[in-house]
Amino acid sequence: MLEEALDWKGDGLPPGALILIEDCVAAKGGFLLTFMLKKLLTSSAHGDGSFARTRVVFVAMAEPFSHYGRIAKKQGCNLLHCRDNGQLVFLDLMAAGNPLTSQVRGSTEQVSSPLQRLYQIVYGIVKKMKSHNASDRTVIMIDDASLLEISAGGKSDQVLSFLQYCRAIHTGNNRCSVVVLVHGDTDFRYGAAGLDSGGYGEQGGQTSSSLAQELDHIADVTISVDPLSTGLANDVHGQVTITHWSDVLSSRESRQGVQTLQFKLMENNTSFFHPGGCL
Amino acid sequence: MIMEDNEAPHHMLLLRYFMAQGLVHSQPLFFASPLPSPQAFLGTLPAIASARESKSRPMGPKDSSGQDELRIAWQYRRYLSEQKALEERRLRQQELTASSWASSSSSFSHSSAVGSYEFCNDFDMRKPLERSLLIGSKCESLASGAHLGDLLDQCKEFAAKLARPAGEVQTVGRLALQSLCAPQCVQSCTDWELLAFLHSLKGIVRTSNSVAVITFPASLLRPTMAIRWQHFADILLSVESALDEDKEMAGMLTDYQEIVGFLRVHKLASINTQIPSVPDANVHTMKVVRRKKLILERLLFAPVDAVSGDSGSGSAASLLCGQPANAPSKYDF
């Protein structure tokens, strides 16, 4: 059902597409990354009839490989196998001591910023990935952009540049597409701090827009994950709102505007249904 | 992570229990705090409740055999099983707050060199912890500013010492960081550096046999920063203090005079699974019983008397279904 809402025909993502997933503290969006990862790694045919694989570069900053591996295994996708045969390259940046977190030490000897270094690494990986076919597509998945912003010391423009550069990497005939997760509730649109309003009252003193707003502006599709307004429930874990900003994934005539679906997460599957449709 | 309350330091009660539990079970402890002397704080950790008191917790099926020791009138026996259910729930809640880790599960009942204790939450706050148990702890004071690079190195060193080859009994280490974004701590670093520190710490904890409990005064952070801190937590709790005199609340809650605050569960861990844990109850009351024990209970409201007027006792349903006063037979209603 999510594929219909995204107008995703089961093949790889269109080249150069930017899919944005926005989540919040009460409803985490990581499940969408594993959902899409599974679809991308198991799809192998493109719409034009050619047989090609989708390769994925996963930049993981929020969770280690074991977390995604176990979840994907329960859903029938073996990430270890994909990693061994070169279809998936997993960058585990969660452990301390990786080049991005050395910023904590306040070293002034860095020539390039952490995100520049990361871009060099990702670029090198994409170029080295084996391609059987010129029409193979590459997707770069990032979990998550808010941690990239922390690595960049709060400079959201560096994160935006990084993502645009990633989108522009060419492999064969195609550009890479990017799927990125960001925390939408760090934005001023949500008003005071989400769960705990605390005593600090910020009356709109800050005029710069947040990373989530800026990403929303450049994304082709935005999927927002929100909790139910009525609170937590065991049968429905939240809702997703899909907004198409461009015609990259679906043409304007065929898509249905902004769509809202509710979802329930299970060990081996995620089920999406229209609001009120859960049994 | 625990969001502190502005008014009262109830998060320290939770930290005390967390640290005492670790030390009693010979789990290495690392404690960092803006207090000028964290060692002195360790002296206020509670001791294990004495064996006699813990055995007096009643066991259901053995009631009849216990009649010689404890004569309980028959009409109160049902309250004993409720009490036992409450204690079990509290045990589970304490385990939830203290167990946000991704490492392999360790068996908590292994005996230690000092003395063997079964995993327990029973502590007596009137007595201080034995000095000999404090040996396994390392303290760091952040009173002169948190030098995050050094703090991170110390945490990494602490976690590295916990690693054991496969096959040996694994040791779980506990890190307790109190009031991490307090003014004394942040005078030498920026908000973003603190977030980077948290990210690195999460990586250390996730890849080692350690658990970290971090308390922070969320109200001192800018709203956007407070939310970013909340995103880092695997388990997110907040503590609120209860007013000393609140007649409305006292009417709604049982044992209001013992309640010191409320513990709210915002988020539970979902590590290695995509299914979110939905807690049975979001709010728990924190009670200090006889200044000795901390008890966490699900919020219970006293039954609201729905019927006003003469009838006083009994609910509306029982009135409607009850017999009229002068009914000729019991089937008339």
Closest Cα to residue B10, out of B259, B229, B247? Answer: B259
- Distance (Å) of CA B212 to CA A61, B196, B241: 19, 16, 23
Q: Work out the average pLDDT over A134-139.
A: 79
Confidence label for A250 from pLDDT (cuts 50, 70 and 90): low
Q: What is the pLDDT of residue B189?
A: 81
Q: Quick one: tokens of A144?
A: 């998550």
Interatomic CA distance for residues A168 and A164, integer angstroms:
6
Paired residues of A244 in beta bridges? A221
Of B203, B219, B236, the CB nearest to A198: B219
Interatomic CA distance for residues A177 and A164, integer angstroms:
10
Chain A residues within an 8 Å CB radius of B223: 191-193, 197-198, 200, 202
Q: What is the pLDDT of residue B94?
A: 59
Beta-carbon contacts below 8 Å between A and B = 138
Interatomic CA distance for residues A100 and A115, integer angstroms:
7
Q: Closest-CA residue in chain B for A74? A: B273
Q: Closest-CA residue in chain B for A151? A: B196
Domain definitions of chain B by residue range: 2-48+122-163+170-304
Class of domain B2-48+122-163+170-304: alpha beta
pLDDT in tens, chain B (333 residues): 989 888 888 888 888 888 888 888 888 888 888 888 888 888 888 877 765 444 444 444 444 444 445 665 666 666 666 666 676 667 666 555 544 333 333 333 333 334 455 666 677 777 777 777 777 678 887 777 668 888 888 888 888 888 776 667 778 888 888 888 888 777 778 888 888 889 989 988 888 888 999 998 888 888 888 899 999 999 999 898 887 777 777 767 767 777 888 888 888 888 888 888 877 777 888 888 777 778 887 776 555 554 444 433 334 444 444 444 454 555 544
Mutate one of A196, A240, A266, A272 to test the B interface: name it (highest B CB count within 10 A).
A196
Q: Domains in chain A and their CATH numbers?
A: 2-273 (3.40.50.300)
Q: Which long-range contacts (CB under 8 A, 24 or more apart) does A168-171 make?
A: A168/A16, A169/A122, A169/A123, A169/A126, A169/A127, A169/A138, A169/A140, A171/A55, A171/A126, A171/A127, A171/A129, A171/A131, A171/A136, A171/A137, A171/A138
Mutate one of B220, B274, B282 to test the A interface: name it (highest A CB count within 10 A).
B274
Q: Three-state SS for A51?
A: strand
CB contact under 8 A, A154 and B6: no
Paired residues of A136 in beta bridges? none
Q: Closest-CA residue in chain A for B239? A: A196
Interatomic CA distance for residues B29 and A58, integer angstroms:
35
Interatomic CA distance for residues A194 and A185, integer angstroms:
7
Chain A residues within an 8 Å CB radius of B266: 25-26, 195
Q: What is the pLDDT of residue A58?
A: 92
Q: Is residue A49 left, alpha or beta, with left meaning phi > 0 and alpha meaning psi from -120 to 50?
A: left
Q: Work out the average pLDDT over A123-134.
A: 78
Of B190, B222, B230, the CB nearest to A25: B230
CB contact under 8 A, B218 and A198: yes
- Distance (Å) of CA B32 to CA A163, B148, B175, B179: 38, 12, 8, 9
Q: Quick one: tokens of A246?
A: 């461009």
CB contact under 8 A, B223 and A200: yes
Paired residues of B29 in beta bridges? B137, B174
Interatomic CA distance for residues A63 and A83, integer angstroms:
17
The pTM score is: 0.76
The verdict on ipTM greater than 0.85 is no
Q: How many CA atoms lie within 13 A of B331 on its CB side?
A: 0
Chain B residues within an 8 Å CB radius of A71: 272-274
Q: Work out the average pLDDT over A91-112.
A: 57
The answer to whether the bond into A144 is cis (omega within 30° of 0) is: yes
The minimum CA-CA distance between B112 and chain A, rounded to whole Å, is 31
The minimum CA-CA distance between A128 and chain B, rounded to whole Å, is 28
